[in-house]
Structures are given as structure tokens and as C-alpha cells.
Chain A
Amino acid sequence: MTLSAAAPAPLPVQPPSGCPFDPPPEFSALRTEEPITKISLADGSWAWLATRYADIRAILGDLRFSSDTTLAGYPLSGMTGGATAGEHRGFIRMDPPEHSRLRRMVTREFMVKRVEALRPEIQRITDELCDAMEREQGPVDLVEALALPVPSLVISLLLGVPYDDHGLFQRLTGTLLSRTVADDERALARTELRGYLDRLVTAKEAAPGDDILSRLIVEQQRTGEITHDDVTSFAALLLIAGHETTANMIGLSALTLMRDEESAGRLREDPALIRGAVEELLRFHSIIRNGPRRVATADIEIDGHLIRTGEGVVVAVPSANRDEDVFPDAGRLDVCRPNAQHHVAFGYGIHQCLGQALARVELQVVIGTLLRRFPALRPAVPVDEIPFRTDMSIYGCHALPVTW
């Protein structure tokens, strides 16, 4: 490491020019030369950046690296999302035992068999949106027509949120996840969302239905395990975590398959390959670009570097998923890659994505349906005119004009 007085380089976020699907090019050099390195954050503070697969699993799997955003030294600067750093931050930003207590209140809602039971409903939602697409004459924006509404409809259904409000969510989550909006604008959006969800929870307290929020109210809030505000925090976390993530994976996956006739052909011929292909697409795209983040609560040695108590760590998921030590020829999309599911696109450790089974089924259904119903699907503009989300914490396309 150079011992200059200059501030370390900022967290790399720009894909290499002309290769919008690749992670920032700095990562591959860092993996071999400085797998644990210092980066500077927006407010001038610094944090460690980890880029190797093995180190990243070691960090995310070690409970001494805390997710608690209220701890001194947590690398908050430049972090986006719906949660505050304070009391109502949601269990994604907490440690055990509180994290485990709250997470376990909702794990059954997202377990594999529950999600599998939703598959027909997810297929129905997808088919209806595809019917609407078919009725359109000209090119459509696939993000608007399919990628955003599928996860939005699904999570609204699970939470019991009226779908009519989805325009509001889209606007607010867009602001919450943008790296380029000012902090006070993000704070305003957070307050607005919180206000809305607060009223929604109040309505459900009066008349509980058959949905996650109502079950939390009946089983946990009424028995004194959690408060009204906790239920609102659950709603905010699930809504934000499950919406734009899945939407952007749908958009990017569709685009890569449109440009890779060979892979698309294989999947069309043998739909049983779609399951594995989704794992590979998750690995290849690694849409989480601004974290996960942790703060050390002890002095811990990782790969020969001592990370001290109170120092922050940013974990580069896209880099881990392109680590050649684990994924040979990592820059190539191989829909039959035998170990694709070893990716860390959903994180690793006790915070590993709660909604992963749901995200997988949504992706499998949407990709399978697009391949089947729109075999001639193609971008309606040259790829260099597609607006990629280099300004957001979750990578993807802002819009994806397609024709068929």
C-alpha cells in the first residue's frame, strides 16, 4: 500500500467503457494486488474495501463484523436505502440477538415451499403483463412494462399494500436508492414513505387481512413482542429490499439474453436449464454496488491485514463473483456453469437475503416467459443508448426499449 498522505481512491462504481455488464475494472487489479485496501467515502472518511471471494465470505460470515449502523465507525457515508441509521432502521441494520429475533418473525413467509406455492400467481401476474405488452404496437420500455411491475405486484400482494399506490413507491424508492440525490432530499422521501406505511399499518390494525403485515400485527404486535413502529419498519424494509433489486435483475437478465442468442437458444430448448441460468445471471450481474457494509467490533485479521475495532468495511459483491479462483473464466456468462450458485449476490452470513427464494422464482418465471412468448425480443435502440444505472446503489437499466 502506498504511504502517501493523499486520500485513498473512492469506491469504484463505473463499469469499463463499452462493457456495461462488467463490474468496475479496478476490482480485478485490486483482487490480485491489494485485496484488502482503503477507499475514501463521500464525506472524506475512509473504509476498507474487500474484493476477494474468500475474504468477503470470511467478513460477512464473522459476527464480529457488525451491521449495526448506530455503532461508531460504521461507514454510513454515501449509503442509500430506505432505512434510517436510527431506531427504526430495520433488522438488516442490526446484530443478534435483536436481528435474529426480528428476522425469525418473517422467515417462514419467504421459505422455499411458501414461495413455490406462489409460483402460479407469479406466472399469472407475468402473463397478464406480457398480454398487455403484446397489445402494444411500437417498442415498449421493458423496465416499465414488466421488470418493475412484477416485483412490485408480488411484494404488494404479500404485504397487503394496495397496488394503486405503486407509482408512489416507485418514485420514493427511486429517490431513496439514488446516489446522486442530496441527503436532505433522500431524508424527505424516507419521511414520506414512513408516513404512508404508518397509515397503512394503522388501517391493518383496525382490519387485519391475509398478509404479512396483518400476521405481524396479530401474532407479534398484539402479544407485545413488537410495536406499531416495528411493523412499519418491517414494511419499509421488505418493500424496498424486494422491489428494485428484482426489477433490475429482470431488466439486465433480459438484455444479456437478447444479446446472447446461443444461451437464449439453449434455455428455450431446455427450460430445465433456467434455474441454473438464474444463478449465473445473479453472479454475472451482481447488482448490489454500494455494499454490503460492516464495522469491526474487535481487531480482526483478514488476509494479512489487521482491521481494528471501529473501522468500517465495504464488501464488493461484484468483485467476489468475478473471482477467478472460484469462477474460472469469470467474465463469461455460462448458463451451465456448475458452481454458479456459490455466488454471493445475495450476500453471505446471517444477513443473507431473506427474499432470495422469492427473487429466484420471480426471475425464473419472467425469464422463462419472455423466452417463450417473445422469441424475437431485441433492444429497440443501440446498447450505448441504453441508460445504465451508474448513479444508483442497485445496478441495472433506467429504461430498456425493446421490440419483437
Chain B
Amino acid sequence: MKITIDADKCCAAGQCVLIAPEVFDQRDEDGVVVVLDDAPPADQHDAVREAAAICPAAVIELHA
């Protein structure tokens, strides 16, 4: 799994951080998403998929 994000669209709702805190964080200046691990291990995949599904601004893209 490979994660890409479109930070410009991020509205900093923070849901990804709640769901997958080992993969996503928010940057200090404005709460915009930061990817901590763009190729997360398999045990994170479900949480990452959930974060992508819930993201209100459809910022998180997943690639095989």
C-alpha cells in the first residue's frame, strides 16, 4: 500500500489522526495532515482504508 495526499484540500478535521495515529499526524501550524509512514505495514492497512473512507475532503489516496 502506498499513500498519497492532497494537502491543499485538507480541512484539518483530524479524523485520520484519530483512526490511524501511527500513520497520520497534523502539522503544528495549521492542523493539515502529515503522513508519517506512506508505505505502512500490513497491520495498519485496515485503519488507513477506514481513514481514507471517512476523510471529509477526500484527501487521502491509496495505491496498490
Interface of B is mostly: loop
Q: Is A135 close to B, CB under 8 A? A: no
Question: Which has the most chain B C-beta neighbours within 10 Å: A100, A356, A357?
Answer: A357
Are B30 and A352 in contact, with the CB atoms below 8 A?
no
- Report A-chain residues with C-beta under 8 Å of the C-beta of B19: 341
Q: Is A171 close to B, CB under 8 A? A: no
Q: Is B36 close to A, CB under 8 A? A: no
- Report B-chain residues with C-beta under 8 Å of the C-beta of A347: 56
In the complex, A104 Cα to B17 Cα: how many Å? 17
* Known pairs A61-B58, A342-B54, A350-B57; A112 contacts B26 (CB<8 A): yes
Are B12 and A342 in contact, with the CB atoms below 8 A?
no
Are B28 and A112 in contact, with the CB atoms below 8 A?
no
* Known pairs A103-B11, A111-B12, A112-B17; A61 contacts B56 (CB<8 A): yes
Interface size class of B (residues with CB under 8 A): 20 to 34
B54 partner, pick from A112, A341, A350, beta carbons under 8 A:
A341
Q: Is A107 close to B, CB under 8 A? A: yes
In the complex, A134 Cα to B21 Cα: how many Å? 38
Whole-angstrom distance between the Cβ of A359 and the nearest chain B Cβ: 11
In the complex, A111 Cα to B13 Cα: how many Å? 7
B56 partner, pick from A104, A107, A350, A357, beta carbons under 8 A:
A350
Q: Is B18 close to A, CB under 8 A? A: yes
Whole-angstrom distance between the Cβ of B32 and the nearest chain A Cβ: 7
Residues 28 to 48 of chain B near chain A (Cβ within 8 Å): 28-32
Name B residues whose Cβ lies closer than 8 Å to a Cβ of A.
9, 11-15, 17-19, 26, 28-32, 50, 53-54, 56-58
Name A residues whose Cβ lies closer than 8 Å to a Cβ of B.
61, 100, 103-104, 107-108, 110-113, 341-342, 346-354, 356-357, 360
